[in-house]
Amino acid sequence: MKKLIYCLTLILLSNILVSQKSKDIEIIEKPIVYNQERTKLSVEYLKERHGIIQTKPTITPKIIVLHYTAGGTIKTNFNYFNNIQIENARKINKDQSLLNVSAHYLIDRDGTIYHLVDDNLLARHTIGLNYCSIGVENIGSKKEPLTDKQVIANANLIRHLCKKHKIEYVIGHSEYIKFRKTKLWKETNPNYFTYKEDPGNQFLMNVRKLIVDLNLKSKP
């Protein structure tokens, strides 16, 4: 009996150690609504915008795109992304698809990471590359540059995502133009493009310094 208890204790302890080891960073699950309507609009987006015909809005991520929200808080940005249809004010985007913009992750200024959309489902955050990319939004703007804690959180999240997916590139939204004339770019309307300056060059440099060992590409 004593032996059995000893064995069971050992098994329990090793399980605790393994689960602690695999839980490398803290991510708070905070899913936006991904119901039938978002699914339908996402399948349509894949077809109309990317020219990809599928019955489900699934993606195979190979690019991580870093963004900033250009203002707001976790609450206001979450509520915004949670809307399924895009607002009228975003006319350039609305003309191309009714699907609202969103992102897979949202990172607060203190580095807290929220997970909004399953990594393998489409989120609309980067023209031409949504079918193969994970979008990471950060609370901040040009006037309110991203924090050191966000630098660390983004680097940790990238490291975590590289263990789960075959990620080849990490780019800032401002850098997506470099993919425009390549095979990776899938957008049926050659004129659909908007210039972006998020998430800021200094931030990108700082994140890249922490993930040099991952050998990820910044351009095609």
Residue whose C-alpha is closest to residue 104's, from 84, 125, 86: 125
| Interface positions, 59-98, toward Zn ion (CB under 5 A) | 67
Residue 93 Cβ vs Zn ion, minimum distance, rounded to whole Å:
12
Angle between helix axes 148-164 and 201-210 (nearest 10 degrees) is 50
Q: Cα 2 vs. chain centroid, distance in angstroms? A: 50
Contact with Zn ion (CB under 5 A) among 173, 179, 185, 203: 173
* Encoded amino acid at 168, one letter: E
- Which listed range, 14-22, 43-51, 141-149, 198-206, lies at the site for Zn ion (CB under 5 A)? 198-206
- Which listed range, 55-63, 71-79, 195-203, 204-212, lies at the site for Zn ion (CB under 5 A)? 195-203
Instruction: Write each residue from 98 to 137 as x if it is in contact with Zn ion (CB under 5 A), else as -, in one continuous string.
Output: ----------------------------------------
Joined together, the tokens standing for residue 134 give 């994970």
- 198 makes contact with Zn ion (CB under 5 A): yes
Residue 43 or 171 having the CB closest to Zn ion: 171
Instruction: Give the span between the Cα atoms of 121 and 136, in whole angstroms.
Output: 14
Residue 50 or 173 having the CB closest to Zn ion: 173
Residue 118 Cβ vs Zn ion, minimum distance, rounded to whole Å:
20
Residue 43 or 146 having the CB closest to Zn ion: 146
Residue 187 or 198 having the CB closest to Zn ion: 198
- Residue 81: CB partners within 8 Å, gap ≥ 6? 32, 100, 101, 102, 103, 106, 116
Residue 69 Cβ vs Zn ion, minimum distance, rounded to whole Å:
8
CB of 42 closer than 8 Å to CB of 121: yes
Q: How many CB atoms lie within 10 A of CB 196?
A: 18
Residue 43 or 140 having the CB closest to Zn ion: 140
Instruction: Give the span between the Cα atoms of 163 and 159, in whole angstroms.
Output: 7
Residue 104 or 173 having the CB closest to Zn ion: 173
Residue 200 Cβ vs Zn ion, minimum distance, rounded to whole Å:
11
Looking at the DSSP assignment, which residues form a beta bridge with residue 105?
Answer: 115, 136
Residues that bind Zn ion (CB under 5 A): 67, 173, 198
